[in-house]
A and B are shown apart, each in its own frame.
Chain A
């Protein structure tokens, strides 16, 4: 993976740029010391690191607008950053770009129970939104595993999911409104507490745009009332195929569980060594099915799920009988990453989505690849929505093993696309999967997407080098925009 060659002219102008930024951001709003910049050199994808030119920590939308407008005029690139928990390198800094950290945008602005909405600044964590409304019995539904740390602005940028997407949707389905700043410095508002905003659904495009279209400065989300009862069922199967059949049959029976999670033998054994969730060890796959709603509904559905599981050949079935037990079932799954971290010095977290029924063949194929390259793989799977997270185990200290692991990961993602799936379910493309975009999209597909980016950022300064493998000048794609008297992208290297 190569990033675009940094623009030496911009790097040479660092002091001048710092001077300009310090006029916009008085006090401690600017990070310039190398030591302190280190904290920003990567996001959750730690294999790639780069010191930013400088980090700006604005506190107001107006400041962001001034920074962007300055950068747009001076051809300086921007990388927006939330909590930096992203797993695809979307917030990887640029040597010739300013990282804008939104950590100071950490306030909840409005809790509106009447309209079931919360207005928050983008740096508020996902979990803090639920915390703010929990006493009134509400919660915010999308729950990525990193919910304690990840920011709501970052959730919008990545269209984050979590365990409960099948029933409750992703970020995009729970988002009501946005305020954002365009590269030109213009501040725009999209959506609001009303549902149909009219005109083009720009909010839909901004969600999941990985920081390529603008800097989000305010988010309005839908909150939901907690269900009366939640019960989880732990089901063991002698094969992954049997587990997959069970998932398909549950859905075919008209049941939409709150969550359905599957894991394979390698993952089960890693988790059970780390936390004792009571997972059976003599099975090839485990399915956790969570049912939620009124008690009468949950109990009714539980009976159906039990029958379906038996028919699918389950060899283990246990339903939680207390909240404590339910939490215990989940604990293993929730600690998938640290568990795997204990049995291997390093691991890569992959993220692809496949049509659910292709799971058995994808697992078989993956096992073959694993044997060929000699690296182990553990699988956790959001079975309800087909989102697969293979964890590839490797040792970075062994010569060439990271490259081997990355290649294995790429092969898995290509396989996902081949069976009708996609490159990323919820972690985003970022830099990690950028060079695989051609596996899924044609040149024309990618050009249309990049032309759309031009509408938001005609000079290509917002998070460049991410998502799209080939940079294109807006003008090359039939774009008439010419800024003042100079062409955008003075001299872009191909990479």
Chain B
């Protein structure tokens, strides 16, 4: 068991990293550990618990901006935002269900370092799009800042974007400044019953290309839809294609009606109102409807939306897996039971053929090592990525191996 250290402030954190760099001791950086199982296991000498650096230090609702220490629990952030009718617009993903954790909440630092956005990714962007500024400590043990507290900013390289999604392998973020947005007044979800994946794909792409500002669209095959806690939906026993509109009440009512009449006249449909609409999308966002048996491997696949139904077809024809599509078909969550290794290589090849990216979000450590969590990157990128890592953490003391081989990103 590696020892755990819990710095109480930025200076202690800096000292700890500087000492580790001199001694070439490796560090695993954790928040609440909700995403600790995402990525390759890190066998570091010391675990750095970021929980000591917590608290919101600046929140200006009229400016749509907040600053918080990296270890601030997401629950605290959400309740502060909720009190002012605001939110994190990218819909944070709560991985507790996938990893079978009791923790309800990760930390804000972990959220940005993991980098995954939820269903609203297609309309509001990913965490990287909302991260404005950071203070961080690089692998040399130096405190540096980048970005700022304003949205429009071209003053030096945009390092916050580089750090978002870097799983703590470049620098340890001590605080983050991010954009927040008003919570929509109302939410409606148009539900179309019984489409096949291909038709659903077409419908989702058409809706996204309409002026109705669809904030999320997803496709749940019958087997997945049946697991929804919203009985109004699960009772159909059929596939569901979902379109969410959000905004001022008169507007969402108008748009929900427009979507139904202009695209789906004659189709079996219903419209979910705010509370159920919100519940349904949290089931999708947190991947709570997918096969969660202990030996199911879970993949997260990102492709161009038009390729989603093709991937779905391949999965249906070649595997015994369960899946659903989010992001209009651009994101496919897959759960495969049985011998996951059999499919892994084929799946990666198929996704690479589509120019997409497949991440093995959940599997045993042994499988992660043999299959690789992240897509192997092409040869031209690998040396560059190694040099980028070197520019922040030359001795590779920060979360070594988390993103694959040593340099982060590639297997």
Write the residues of chain A forming the contact surface with B, with a CB cutoff of 8 angstroms: 112-117, 137-138, 158-159, 161, 165-166, 169-170, 172-173, 182, 186-190, 192-202, 204-205, 207-210, 225-228, 248-249, 251-252, 254-256, 293-294, 296-297, 300-301, 353-357, 382, 385-387, 420-429, 433, 437, 440-442, 444-446, 448-449, 451-456, 458, 467, 478-481
B205 touches A114 (CB 8 A): yes
B327 within 8 A of A: yes
A297 touches B250 (CB 8 A): yes
Q: Known: A195-B126, A297-B247. Is A254-B149 also a contact (CB below 8 A)?
A: no
Per the bound structure, the CA–CA distance linking A296 and B251 in Å amounts to: 6
8 A Cβ contacts from B274-314 to A? 302-307
B158 within 8 A of A: yes
Residue from the list B150, B158, B183 in contact with A172, Cβ < 8 A? B158
Q: In the complex, how many angstroms separate the beta carbon of A200 from the nearest chain B beta carbon? A: 6
A200 touches B385 (CB 8 A): yes
Which of B22-30, B56-64, B94-102, B228-236 binds A? B56-64
B248 touches A300 (CB 8 A): yes
Per the bound structure, the CA–CA distance linking A467 and B385 in Å amounts to: 23
B406 within 8 A of A: no
Q: Known: A196-B357, A199-B377, A353-B153. Is A293-B62 also a contact (CB below 8 A)?
A: no
Q: In the complex, how many angstroms separate the beta carbon of A474 from the nearest chain B beta carbon? A: 9
A204 touches B156 (CB 8 A): no
Please name all residues of chain B whose beta carbon is closer than 8 Å to the beta carbon of A387 when the two chains form the complex: 150, 152
Please name all residues of chain B whose beta carbon is closer than 8 Å to the beta carbon of A451 when the two chains form the complex: 391-392
Q: In the complex, how many angstroms separate the beta carbon of B121 from the nearest chain A beta carbon? A: 6
B409 within 8 A of A: yes
Per the bound structure, the CA–CA distance linking A197 and B152 in Å amounts to: 24
Residue from the list A294, A428, A480 in contact with B254, Cβ < 8 A? A294
B153 touches A422 (CB 8 A): yes
A300 touches B251 (CB 8 A): yes
Residue from the list A170, A294, A433, A453 in contact with B152, Cβ < 8 A? A170
B212 within 8 A of A: yes
With CB as the reference atom, state the residue of chain B lying closest to A454: B391
With CB as the reference atom, state the residue of chain A lying closest to B166: A200
Q: Known: A158-B154, A196-B302, A429-B155. Is A455-B85 also a contact (CB below 8 A)?
A: no
* 15 new A-B contacts at CB < 8 Å, known A201-B165, A254-B182, A448-B138: A114-B305, A159-B154, A169-B125, A194-B307, A194-B357, A199-B377, A201-B128, A294-B251, A382-B152, A385-B152, A387-B150, A425-B150, A440-B156, A449-B159, A479-B391
Per the bound structure, the CA–CA distance linking A301 and B184 in Å amounts to: 13
Per the bound structure, the CA–CA distance linking A200 and B263 in Å amounts to: 39
B388 touches A455 (CB 8 A): yes
A386 touches B151 (CB 8 A): yes
B158 touches A294 (CB 8 A): no
Q: Known: A208-B158, A256-B181. Is A424-B388 also a contact (CB below 8 A)?
A: no
Please name all residues of chain B whose beta carbon is closer than 8 Å to the beta carbon of A137 when the two chains form the complex: 211
A449 touches B146 (CB 8 A): yes
Q: In the complex, how many angstroms separate the beta carbon of A297 from the nearest chain B beta carbon? A: 3
Please name all residues of chain A whose beta carbon is closer than 8 Å to the beta carbon of B155 when the two chains form the complex: 422-424, 429, 433, 437, 440
Per the bound structure, the CA–CA distance linking A208 and B162 in Å amounts to: 12
Q: Known: A200-B165, A385-B151, A455-B388. Is A449-B209 also a contact (CB below 8 A)?
A: no
22 A/B residue pairs, CB under 8 Å, sorted by A? A165-B152, A193-B305, A198-B302, A198-B357, A199-B375, A200-B409, A201-B165, A202-B385, A207-B158, A207-B161, A256-B181, A256-B182, A296-B254, A297-B247, A385-B151, A424-B155, A425-B153, A425-B154, A429-B156, A440-B156, A448-B142, A455-B391
B304 touches A192 (CB 8 A): yes
B152 touches A188 (CB 8 A): no
Chain B 91-127 against A: per-residue CB contact (8 Å), 1 yes, 0 no?
0000000000000000000000001100001100110
Residue from the list B129, B145, B162, B388 in contact with A169, Cβ < 8 A? B129
B148 within 8 A of A: yes
8 A Cβ contacts from B362-395 to A? 374-375, 377-378, 380-381, 384-385, 387-388, 390-392, 394
B143 within 8 A of A: yes
B140 within 8 A of A: yes
Per the bound structure, the CA–CA distance linking A386 and B391 in Å amounts to: 32
Residue from the list B209, B258, B307, B408 in contact with A116, Cβ < 8 A? B209
A199 touches B410 (CB 8 A): yes
